[in-house]
Structure 1
Amino acid sequence: MTLPAAFLHEVQRLIPSARRFDDPLSTLAFGTDASFYRLIPQLVVRVESEEEVVQLLKLAQADRVPVTFRASGTSLSGQSITDSVLIVLGEHWNGRDIRNDGEQIRLQPGVIGAQANAWLAPLGRKIGPDPASINAAKIGGIVANNSSGMCCGTAQNSYNTLAGMRVILADGSILDSESPASVEAFRASHGKLLEQLAELGRQTRANTELAARIRHKYRLKNTTGLSLNALVDYDEPLDILTHLMVGSEGILGFISAVTYNTVPEHPHKATALIVFPDVETCCRAVPVLKQQPVSAVELLDRRSLRSVENMKGMPEWVKALSAGACALLIESRAATQSLLHEQLAHIMASIADFPVEKQVDFSEDPLVYNQLWRIRKDTFPAVGAVRQVGTTVIIEDVTFPVEQLAEGVNRLIQLLEKHRYDEAIIFGHALEGNLHFVFTQGFDSPEQVQRYEAFMQDVAQLVAVEFGGSLKAEHGTGRNMAPFVELEWGHDAYQLMWQLKRLLDPNGILNPDVQLSEDPQIHLKHLKPLPAADAIVDRCIECGFCEPVCPSNGLTLTPRQRIVMWRDIQAKNRAGVDASQLKADYAYRGVDTCAATGLCSQRCPVGINTGDLVRKLRGTDATRTRTANWLAGHFATALQGTRLMLKAANAARLLLGSRLLARVSAALSKASQGRIPQWTPAMPQPVHRLELPVPLDDARPRVVYLAACVSRAMGPAASDPEQQPLIDKTRALLEKAGYQVVFPDNLNNLCCGQPFASKGYAQQAERKLQETLDALLKASRGGLDPIYCDTSPCTLRLVKDLNDPRLDIHDPVRFIRTHLLDRLEITPQDTPIAIHATCSTQHLGEAQGLVDIIKRCTTQHVVIPEGIYCCGFAGDKGFITPELNAHSLRTLKTSVQGCREGISTSRTCEIGLSREAGIDYHGLVYLVDRVSQAKPQMSS
């Protein structure tokens, strides 16, 4: 189907071109969600307001154009893709309203679930749903899929904690259930619709057999089909309507806001791992535990445990478990520690008579319980990490009645063995009888597709027919289970779902073939290819967990989309299809605008750093080898050239003035396509030639100070109240704390190699790294003295890539935290401070350390801007691709209002932060030096 010209014309009038995408790169990038399906939209529209959604739906109705809504695209069953029009949430859907000390929270659909919990945490509350994707999934998707999770169960899902909803129906009408005026207007305009819903409710409740079946189905976790429980739980048609929207996967309307009744987030918790000798014993313990004060009980079969037993940090005993072992991971939470201990005693007493193969007792130690939870959380990625290239990871999601859980697990294992899914694992939320089974599947041949089809038919018969369970417990129906909805629910319930669909979406424009489909083969169509692209990213399962922390998200591409596009380009190359235009577009959107800082790897279930791929691609285009060699061999000269350029820029500022220089340099930068950096008031002044002291032989403890190249070249901006160069300020602080500061020999020629590595010159980067290693070994007397590096990115490069156990290398945060604070007396200042933990600080595990230090340095609040994970400056990206920095920090200025200064640990990051925030950012040592005095014994 081709989109009607009249529709396209009106959309062009409604939506700015910057938020409309129909080029091949964009449509393929957005055509991917976390499922194993792919549809390429003809048009992608990023919406920023309710009015835009209303008008788009009216246009779609007029021309019968199907539309699909997308929040974060972490759904697993194919419910957020389309070959028509994809409506994607923009960035202006993040509103919240916290009510009654956190007992309720009103959220717009673009809020990430974890962010909602962060807002509620100080009040001791959280939202009920806790899906594994909560750090990436947005409220719109969480509600539309009725997502649950490990602790949520059924009592705390979106359906059962819903307090109100604002929804846009297929005809463009708006209903806000919390607004009396909106309700009154909707009753007037849609009275017939409400009466039809009320009548369907009366008919359903009067059909005792159907009503009993619905109630039975929803005592289990169940997201198969529409939420028919709305018709038996409520008689008020507005309540029916809003609860039908929960779990509707966008086939009934657009959820514009939702109000949750929140649940307590108890501060005290403990976790235990109990390994039973067999599945039967393990599952018999579950109903017993269900009667106890437990917040989560996770089942792990022996295959699951085997999949993670060789991972770093896993206990050795996991390898020695018997072949039939089956484990329960148990967590309990309480408002007080004494109550928690009371609960733990009751829990252990309840299962004392069960035979146990191995036991890790309840622990309140974060190190212990985090390791236990890691066993559970690493199972899914463990399968993804070892799968054959070209296959996809499928995670299915079923519910058995808890009283039949043991039989269900064993029958499921038999099916996996029958269909030769030898790598498959089973784990799940045991309290609800909810099992996930993970397996790898290729779709590159008819035989593979037939194998999958046969397996799914067997699973459907087993779960839905034999056990009366749910084929989808929490992942949503999507395309994946649409052909099996009638099998699970029966004819009457299935037809009732179609009645509701046709009542609310009579023209069938909302997300067709999702949940309800007349195509019995829809689950076998539009299967996503995962072709080999590069060993660095071939393990990617396209889940989208990486996207929230990517600075180019919303500007060009996300890490997931970079991988999707590179896979497609490589597949086209192998097939002899011309991909030159795609590759040309990818050069800017995929490579040039990637910060390559690797924050994506921290969120990735299989640890993929998309920046590694980008650096490799840059390496293939890195043709100026002679220049790189010269720079590596004459680094001090190059550094002096940087100082001269900064000196010239500073002279131009004095001559032309800041405003005129900014305009002139912007024009020059644009004309040179970014090769000439754009001057801004945050541009540093040059550091003059360094005068380094000769080490003295005295009794003070020594510290080797490796001043990064940026610290040796770039001083404070002209407008910064702090005018002393970082290298001088750092030396003064170290000496104040009683240290003798030693500099490595030939410092001006030293470089960690990061500038070369980021440009793709790996050989030159390694050369500079080795030179630095040799100098540090000599200066530290073979590793006897600690080494202080004043810039976090350089520290990370040294720690990660040198990985030399002889050297004790510290970034500013770690050194101040572990070596200086005990030697200084802090008198905190009385002004608020903004904080930016660089990507490198986060990789080094020092982000919280930075916050803790700054909290000691001020009596006022510290500001950690929401939603900013990476500043996007990325070495020199802020100079040559300033739009990346500007986009990443687009909300910074608003976030730091009321602060007079910001603190970070990277000079280049601080340039971009100062530029976008309108306040001066400088290094941590400036703040610590300002508020500290040497303790008497240190100065004597």
Structure 2
Amino acid sequence: MSLPAAFLAAVEETLPASRLFSDPLSTLTLGTDASFYRLIPKLVIRVESEDEVAFILKQASKHQVAVTFRAAGTSLSGQAVSDSVLVLLGDHWNNKEVLDNGQRIRLQPGVIGANANQALAHLNRKIGPDPASINAAKIGGMVANNSSGMCCGTAQNTYQTLAAMRLLLADGSCVDSADPDSVSQFRKTHQGLLKGLAELAKQTREDAELSAKIQHKYRIKNTTGLSLNALIDFTDPLDILTHLMVGSEGTLGFISSVTYYTVPDHPSKATALVVFPDVETCCQAVRLLKKQPVAAVELLDRRSLRSVQHMAGMPAWIEQLGNSACALLIESRAANPRLLEEQLQQINASIEHFPKEAHIAFSQDPKVYELLWRMRKDTFPAVGALRETGTTVIIEDVTFPLEQLAEGVNRLISLFEKYQYDEAILFGHALDGNLHFVFTQRFDQPEEVARYSAFMEEVSHLVAVEFGGSLKAEHGTGRNMAPFVELEWGKDAYQLMWRIKHLLDPQGILNPDVVLSKDAGIHLKNLKSLPAANPLIDKCIECGFCEPVCPAAGLTLSPRQRIVAWRAIQEQKRQGLDTTQLEKDFQYQGIDTCAATGLCAQRCPVGINTGDLIRELRAKKARHSKTAEHLAGSFAQIARAARWSLVGAELARKLLGAPRMHRWTQQLHQRFNSLPVYLPATPKAAQLPPLASTNPASKKPRVVYFAACVSNVMGPAHLDKDQTPLRVKTQQLLEKAGFEVIYPEASAGHCCGQPFASKGYPKQADDKLHELEEQLLKASRNGQDPIYSDTSPCTLRLLKELKETQLKIYDSAKFLNEEVLPRLKLEPLDEKVAVHITCGTQHLNETDNLLAIAKACATQVIIPEGIHCCGFAGDKGFTLPALNQYALRNLAEQVEPCTAGFSTSRTCEVGLSSYSSLNYQHLVYLVDKASRVKY
């Protein structure tokens, strides 16, 4: 059934067409979330203001159109998908306001959870919820699902730390509980609603049996159904309303902002791993640890430990553990080291008498901490990485009363065995009796769906009826558990939830069939299949963790959405369907606008680099191999021609002015997209002096300087204060530090091959790479001397592709911090400078070195939030400027107070300078300006 014409007409008349999506590619990709359900919305709307949300709700109410809201789409239970209208948060929902010196923080729903904590970090505070998805999940979803996490427990979730909320109801009306005027007006206009809530609360409190059940249910982690505890915890109907919104999953209204009471973020912490001989012993220890000063206690069954035992860095003894072994990962935190030590002694003493198979004692060493938490966090990816193509990974989330945890664990394991989920693992937040179990499941065969259905029926009866636990502890009810809410809560509580729903959403337009559904089989409908598409991406579980670091996400497609689209194209081809239009749309949306930097792989639980797929697709469509070979073979001449083109561009700038050049070339580019755009910070041609001869008699330490092709071609921009070319500035700095600088022969013709690789010409890329390797070996005396590489993306390619080489290759950040700075006298600049951490720097794990240099050379260093990749992507800043501009859309405001910007890639610096008020240059300019000869 299509959407009402009157609704569509009203929406199209009021909202910009650029934020309305109804084409097949957009509705498929934007409609996908992390759950194992697939619904295709008829219309996707990206909203940028509260007024727009209110308008949509009023129109939806008027025309009885179902509406679903989505923040990041990392939810797992089917609460963020729709076959009607899906409303997505746009860019303008990211405001953060730290209040009362960090005791409270006001957040809009588009703020990523980790970014909220970054805003509080300098005050040693954080928000209470700490879900595993916090680096991708947004506040709107975290509130709507009442997310918790490893250290959050039941005391620090959103419900317990809520200070205020601004919300919109189904009729489009708004109330802000922190604004007295808004509250006063709402009490007048919504007397009936508030009176209804007050009456429901009164009836609930008077029902002793129901009240007792509610109190019991929320002593443990519980997100099944609506937050009925609001009816007995509060008497003011407005307080009841705001707390009912927590965990309502978009079924009762839209959360426009939330104010949290923050919690301490203690700086001192230590972690241990203790392995017990069996589940019973392990769970007995948990009950004692519950009374100790612990921040987190994570349980890992033997299957979980087995799933990670072969990973790099894992202790060898894990493989030797008994089949019934069960481990606890224990963390304690304190305000200072002395108090932490006292806590650790207390914790150790509490479990000292238990038999143990093995253990890693409490450690404050960051390396040990990372290893132990990686062991816990890698359990889920381990299952995902090994799953059979065509299956999906399901994470279920239940709670047992703590005193029955051991029996609950063993009963779940027996169900895994009964239904032959041999790969299933079990882990969880033991202090709260909260267990996650992960297994793989096919949904493309009726017998497999039947197996899943029977398994979930037994699990639901086991947890909810036999143990009186929660079927959803922290992942939300969604569609997944909607048919089982009455089983867990009983008829009276279930009917009470429906009364709340009818009171707040009388027409049932808000996220129907989520949390509450009259369809007993809703959890078995619209199941998502993950068909084979390409081995590079087949392990993707569509979680969306990759999206925050993708420069194209929101402009076109994110990595998750690219994979969804490519899967659909391949599946439709297998079915004999015409994919011409889909592939045509995917060319620009998926292939052309992918920066292919691979940052997505760093966030992906199973390490998928979507850029690898895109490069493969580009290679298949590459039609100019002979041209590429010619360019590779005459690279010095090509570089010379590129310099002359920059000379011409600079002459035109002087004649016409940069703004006019930019505007005119933009207009031409829109008509002829093969023509590059002149950017405001387009560099001048590098004016380089002849290379100096090496002094063989020099006693100075030698360093071979590999200047990337862009460093030999691109000089400073006309805006830059320091007009010294990068190659010259770098040589001056290295010589200031006492080095003899060596250049490879015929430097002007060298290239690491990156431009060819990114365009889909891997052979030519490899030819240039190995040609360069030979010259670097010769210049470095077969690897005796270090190689300094001035451009991070090029360094990354060298280190990634030349793994067996004798060359000692250093990225500029590493060499400057470890070898150059110790040889110089530093006089930090009393300035605020901005730093851009390139994709290459991140892949090389050189961020710490880069920041150490910046902080040693300037008193204040700013790292703009949300700028993970600048989107220049080699030459796309010139040839597809929309990507670069979009990726840097939030840069200018953040760096406005800064005096200069620094990075380690010339092309990135061009884009950064063009779309901000700041001039960006290589990090060597900062080091040179802040340093003197030491002796």
Whether TM-score is above 0.5 comes out as yes
Paired residues for 1:132-531 under 5 Å: 132-531=132-531
Superposed displacement of residue 670, structure 1: 2.6
Q: Structure 1: how far apart are the matches of 2:329 and 2:662?
A: 59
What is the match of residue 18 of structure 1?
Answer: 18
Counterpart-to-counterpart distance in 2, 1:907 and 1:378: 36
One-letter amino acid of the structure 1 residue matched with residue 897 of structure 2: G
Describe the superposition over 1:449-481 as per-residue Cα deviations: whole angstroms up to 9, x where unpaired.
000000000101110011110000000000000
The letter for the 2-side match of 1:350 is S
Displacement of 1:573? 1.0
- 1:782 to partner: Cα distance: 1.3
| 2:716 partner SS | strand
Q: Which of 654-663 and 34-43 deviates more?
A: 654-663
Identity score, percent = 64
Per the alignment, residue 72 of structure 1 pairs with: 72
- Report the alpha carbon displacement of residue 689 of structure 1 after superposing the two structures with TM: 5.6
- Residue range with higher mean Cα deviation, 122-131 or 95-104: 95-104
Please tell me the residue identity of whatever aligns with 1:149: G
Match of 2:535 in 1: 535
Q: Is the 8 A contact 1:302 1:325 kept in 2?
A: yes
> What is the distance in 1 between the residues matched to 2:102 and 2:23?
44
Whole-angstrom CA distance in 2 between matches of 1:654 and 1:186:
61
Give the SS at the match of 1:917. coil
Counterpart AA for 1:222: N
Q: Is the 8 A contact 1:752 1:794 kept in 2?
A: yes
Measured in 1, the distance between the counterparts of 2:884 and 2:231 equals 50
Provide the secondary structure at the position in 2 that maps to 1:616: helix
- Which letter maps to 2:891? L
- Give, in angstroms, the shift of residue 804 of structure 1: 3.0
Asked if 1:863 corresponds to 2:862, the answer is: yes
What corresponds to 2:880 in structure 1? 881
Q: Which residue does the alignment assign to 2:570?
A: 570
The aligned amino acid for 2:690 is: E
CA distance in 2 between partners of 1:660 and 1:377 (Å):
52
* Bigger shift: residues 397-406 or 774-783: 774-783
Counterpart residue number, 1:932: 931
- 2:287 aligns to what SS in structure 1? helix
- Alpha-carbon deviations, 1:875-896, whole Å to 9, x = none? 1010100000000101111111
**Distance in 1 of aligned mates of 2:22 and 2:671:** 28
2:692 maps to amino acid: P
Cα distance between partner residues in 1 of 2:657 and 2:908? 24
**3-state secondary structure, aligned to 1:456:** helix
SS at match of 1:159: helix
Conserved? CA contact 1:681–1:718, under 8 Å? no
* Residue identity in the other structure for 1:701: P
Other structure's SS at 2:327 match: strand
Q: How does 1:733-812 map to 2 (within 5 A)?
A: 733-804=733-804, 806-812=806-812
| CA apart distance, 1:638 | 1.0
Tell me the residue number matched to 2:903.
Answer: 904
8 A contact 2:226–2:497 mirrored in 1: yes
**2:679 match:** 680
Per-residue displacement from partner, 1:50-99 (whole Å, max 9, x unpaired)? 11111110000000000000000000000000000001011111112211
SS in 2 for 1:367: helix
Contact 2:716-2:723 at 8 Å conserved across structures: yes
Who is 1:94 aligned against?
A: 94
The Cα offsets for residues 399-440 of structure 1, whole Å up to 9 and x where unpaired, read as 001100000000000000000000000000000000000000
Contact 1:107 1:257 in 2 (8 A): yes
Residue 690 of structure 1 and its aligned partner are, at CA, apart by 5.1
Inter-partner Cα distance in structure 2 for 1:252 and 1:664: 50
| 1:690-713 alpha-carbon deviations (Å, 9 max, x no partner) | 511221121100000000000011
> Match for residue 894 of structure 1?
893
Is the contact between residue 679 and residue 878 of structure 2 (CA under 8 Å) also seen in structure 1?
no
After TM superposition, give the deviation of residue 785 of structure 1 in Å.
0.7
Which amino acid counterpart does residue 884 of structure 1 have in structure 2? L
The Cα offsets for residues 524-581 of structure 1, whole Å up to 9 and x where unpaired, read as 0000111111111110010000101110111001010000000001111111101110
Alpha-carbon displacement from aligned partner over 1:806-862 (angstroms, at most 9, x marks no partner)? 221111110010000110001122222111111111111112321221111123x22
Residue of structure 1 in register with 2:694 after alignment: 695
Instruction: Give the alignment's TM-score, normalised by structure 1.
Output: 0.99
Query: Alpha-carbon deviation of 1:671?
Result: 2.8
TM-score in terms of structure 2 length: 0.99
- Give the conservation status (yes or no) of the 8 Å contact 2:688–2:725: no
Question: Following TM superposition, by how much is the alpha carbon of 1:660 offset from its aligned partner in structure 2, in angstroms?
Answer: 3.4
* Partner SS, residue 628 of structure 1: helix
SS of 1:830's equivalent? strand
* Distance in 2, Cα, partners of 1:58 & 1:662: 43
Aligned-pair CA distance for 1:180: 1.0
1:598-617 counterparts in 2 under 5 A? 598-617=598-617
8 Å CA contact 1:832–1:863 kept in 2: the answer is yes
Distance 2:929 2:349 in 1: 57
Counterpart of 1:907, as a letter, is: R
Distance, in Å, in 2 between the alignment partners of 1:351 and 1:773 is 57
- For residues 124 and 664 of structure 2, the distance between their equivalents in structure 1, rounded to whole angstroms, comes to 53
- What does the per-residue CA deviation read over 1:370-394, in whole Å, with 9 as the maximum and x for residues that have no partner? 1000000000010000000010000
Q: For residues 123-144 of structure 1, what are the alpha-carbon distances to aligned partners after superposition, in whole Å with 9 as ceiling and x for unaligned?
A: 1110000000000001000000
String of CA shifts for 1:80-125, please: whole Å, max 9, x gaps. 0000000101111111221111111111111110000000111111
8 Å CA contact 2:688–2:728 kept in 1: the answer is: no
Residue equivalent to 1:872: 871
4+ aligned runs moved over 6 Å, structure 1? none
Between the aligned partners of 2:231 and 2:217, the Cα distance in structure 1 is: 13
Give the aligned partner of residue 727 of structure 2. Answer: 727
Segments of 5+ residues of structure 1 without an aligned counterpart are none
Quick one: distance in 2 between partners of 1:682 and 1:209?
Answer: 71
Q: Identify the residue that residue 594 of structure 1 maps to in structure 2.
A: 594
Structure 2: which amino acid aligns with 1:413?
Answer: I
Q: Secondary structure in 2 aligned to 1:299? A: strand
C-alpha displacement of 1:919: 1.9
Q: What is the SS of the residue equivalent to 1:300?
A: strand
Map 1:526-675 onto structure 2 (within 5 A): 526-673=526-673, 675=674
Q: Secondary structure at the match of 1:804?
A: coil
Note if contact 2:896-2:917 (Cα within 8 Å) is conserved in structure 1.
no
Task: Report the Cα distance in structure 1 between the residues aligned to 2:125 and 2:658, rounded to whole angstroms.
Answer: 49
